[in-house]
Structure 1
């Protein structure tokens, strides 16, 4: 009897391929072993495929499948290794000679960051001190100071820049977004900042001609949108919805859409590609006659879908949809109806072969989970309730789509975004139809550009629809308890939640006692895990000095209470708190915030304050020292923390304090920290700069 999995070969291969990529990310330096595995199991798989007599022996029937698993694992590992440019001897950072200049080309249109432009440069060569050019590879994240010179930058511009760069920094606070890792998955490991005098434009607009035309068309379409949608929030939503152009989306808009569970609207998604596929199929209906014309129809549909995908920025959701609809079109050409799950698996496999690191993108994971949920769960959910009224039934179908997508994605959403939109059902009942209407109106807006009078009417309608959608979303955000945030789960908890969800779905389809037992075990594991975390949080005692540029940020955490000494500007800056501190507090289960002066072992001093905890004496000096205190005895201290640049020289402080460790937080001036570090080294005192080394924890 065949396993149910035998019907989904593409899904099985995709899962194994994902495991191979993950193995490389965890253990990146073992390509020789992977190559040996690939060679051995490749030969074995080829042998089993040729020797037909082998298939008659049932006792070893598992061997071909086992060999295939190891072959695909090794293939995925080696492809990921080959896609990692930092391992190349020709990478610009690996050159043994001293480079003076880098020859670079702008890989994508620069992003406007207000006072600067940011672009990823492809480093095509280096020039040494003798003027000799060497061919190289690699990418460099570059920030250009905004001036009349940098406004000339465009896709394909060739630049000559100084060979001065640094590694992208690791996160300096616990649970902070790992930007270094994120960029490394895009093969970007280094960064630099350039002003107008630092770089020279060698040649302009010499990139790929196809993409030059694509970006020019994108700019022209954006100009059509901005002609009628001038307000900032509406322009951001409209350009993101129609073109995948999210440079104008404000943090307030992102927050509001996330709170209402409608964040998917702020990107080009499968909805757009699906509509393009339907429109193209209908427009090219006249080719659906002979075998040759049907082939032409398929080629045109696939080519135009991928042109649209390029136009909208090739986001993971668009790539997924373009790959799936391309396979559907090809399958239709050959009069076959492949299983939808095999199409999903094959499209994922295809995308990962071309770019293994796409698997690491949150958008890729969410997109595939959402489509799997919709394809599998939506038909089951729709059957729960039957409505005779067609309008009510249509509303119920949209609701079922929202429920299915949310069930499939919410554990991953909790893991990455630490929140759950409580009103996603209500918001999506409005957002999905309005979004569909906006897409149609936007396409009509583009098509009517030669007829200004008609375009003006459509443009006004497009603006008012966008404005109305934003008003609705912001109103939803104002509803109390519209979002449940502050949720922090580990990767293990996420997988346990998915296991529980899958078992519940399986029980809905077929009720079996064994499934109920397994579900009970999974739920018990979740309860035990959470109970263990709760006990840890109730008994925790930590002192953390966070690294926030130019700001004082000290927290003493006891149980679920944080006693803090934070710069008021930092406390009032929600985005800065969220980026640097809040995620860590959620993980620790912090619920109460109090000033550090409320701590029971707190002592005020003339030059700052002190407190005792965990058997250690902490002394904080955060006031300017006009004169050295005259004390009979030295103050013993395990940790001396200097904050707000309290002194120019360290020796006067060391005349009355004997610290074992000296910490300079991120609020101090850099030149003072360097002076203190020299003095500490002379006095043989352990010294740490929070601004440089990152957060410190005791």
Structure 2
């Protein structure tokens, strides 16, 4: 606790680091949750007692970090107990021996065979952890988990532990209310997913990636399979709960999205549509056009440029937009351009 307060006083930025949050949540859960879980059953024999202690420590640590892990990483490791079962019993000894090895090496009296043996133990432990991490069949992935759900799950865990500590009607009612709240949020988020539409221009360096989303269906316009390799796209698909992705390598120069008409001008430089007045113009792949003439002719509400354009072009376009009093949106500076409107 003192160390936690010390770090917080040292710099508040630690509070927003994922590693810091997970570490202290795991420690807090072991200290606070494990005794409550252990009190559920008290075996009389030595071996079951040790196994039960190990099991409750593992479950407590996992309960402490599970909601936060789902929120940040959208996956659940199915083999967490197996890795904890092997590593935790020896972790204290390994840390103690590590301190001794460091002290002996500082005074240059560390025997070579001890150093080699300790290195082998660390190497074996890392290999085991790496092997566990490679078992992707046991990792439940692409779990959509919102901030509200994360907070409600912590409320549920807190209420459950308090009920285990002292079983009473009021504490049980608190747990049941938290369960109902979780269910309501899941239903609401599912409804929100089905009733949301978006037109998004992602920021991908040296590439252009445009998507149209209607509910849980997504149409992706890109020549490359960026949605399979780009972490930003993958995170969006999981976080938004997208179920079906359809990729098209060609995109029309004109896209109608609800009340907005979007003109896409690329290296082909096609933009002369006599009967169409686009409200948004998207420039991609560094088209060699006279932007000032384009703005004066079409008078759009907004000019958008994605990450596929040359930096020198961006500077000129931004100056031209400022001169013509047209809002300019550059995805590399402001992030993905998102145009939203509910379907209903």
Q: Relative to structure 1, is the Cα distance of residues 386 and 512 closer, same or farther in structure 2, using a 3 angstrom cutoff? A: closer
Q: Relative to structure 1, is the Cα distance of residues 525 and 448 closer, same or farther in structure 2, using a 3 angstrom cutoff? A: closer
* Aligned counterparts, 1:377-396, within 5 A: 377-387=33-43, 390-396=46-52
Aligned to 2:30: 374
Find the partner of 1:590 among 239, 242, 250. Answer: 242
Distance 1:632 1:648 in 2: 15
Q: Relative to structure 1, is the Cα distance of residues 501 and 632 closer, same or farther in structure 2, using a 3 angstrom cutoff? A: closer
Find the partner of 1:669 among 300, 305, 310. Answer: 310
Structure 1 gaps of 5+ residues are: 1-319, 324-346
Distance 2:307 2:12 in 1: 38
Indicate yes or no: 2:218 matched with 1:562: yes
User: Which of the pair has more CA radius of gyration?
Assistant: 1
User: What does the per-residue CA deviation read over 1:525-577, in whole Å, with 9 as the maximum and x for residues that have no partner?
Assistant: 2211221111011111001112233332322111112212346375454xxx3
1:603 to partner: Cα distance: 6.3
Aligned to 2:333: 692
Q: Relative to structure 1, is the Cα distance of residues 632 and 358 closer, same or farther in structure 2, using a 3 angstrom cutoff? A: closer
* Aligned counterparts, 1:286-685, within 5 A: 320=1, 323=2, 352=8, 359-387=15-43, 390-449=46-105, 450-451=108-109, 454-455=111-112, 457-566=113-222, 568=224, 570-571=226-227, 573=229, 577-578=230-231, 580-596=232-248, 604=252, 609-625=253-269, 633=274, 635-650=276-291, 659-681=300-322, 685=326
Indicate the structure whose relative CO is greater, using CA pairs within 8 Å and at least 6 residues apart.
Answer: 2
Normalised by the length of structure 1, the TM-score is 0.43
1:423 to partner: Cα distance: 1.9
Q: Relative to structure 1, is the Cα distance of residues 513 and 439 closer, same or farther in structure 2, using a 3 angstrom cutoff? A: closer
Aligned to 1:264: none
Q: Relative to structure 1, is the Cα distance of residues 656 and 413 closer, same or farther in structure 2, using a 3 angstrom cutoff? A: same
Distance 2:174 2:191 in 1: 26
Distance 2:224 2:144 in 1: 26
Distance 2:291 2:193 in 1: 38
Distance 2:127 2:5 in 1: 40
Distance 1:372 1:511 in 2: 22
* Aligned counterparts, 1:138-153, within 5 A: none
Distance 1:634 1:683 in 2: 23
Aligned to 1:339: none
Q: Which moved more, 1:477-486 or 1:495-504?
A: 477-486
Q: Is the 8 A contact 2:292 2:324 kept in 1?
A: no
1:593 to partner: Cα distance: 2.0
Distance 1:611 1:364 in 2: 45
Normalised by the length of structure 2, the TM-score is 0.81
RMSD: 3.3
Q: Is the 8 A contact 2:227 2:233 kept in 1?
A: no
User: What does the per-residue CA deviation read over 1:290-337, in whole Å, with 9 as the maximum and x for residues that have no partner?
Assistant: xxxxxxxxxxxxxxxxxxxxxxxxxxxxxx4xx4xxxxxxxxxxxxxx
Distance 1:686 1:348 in 2: 46
Q: Is the 8 A contact 1:551 1:570 kept in 2?
A: no
Q: Relative to structure 1, is the Cα distance of residues 681 and 404 closer, same or farther in structure 2, using a 3 angstrom cutoff? A: closer
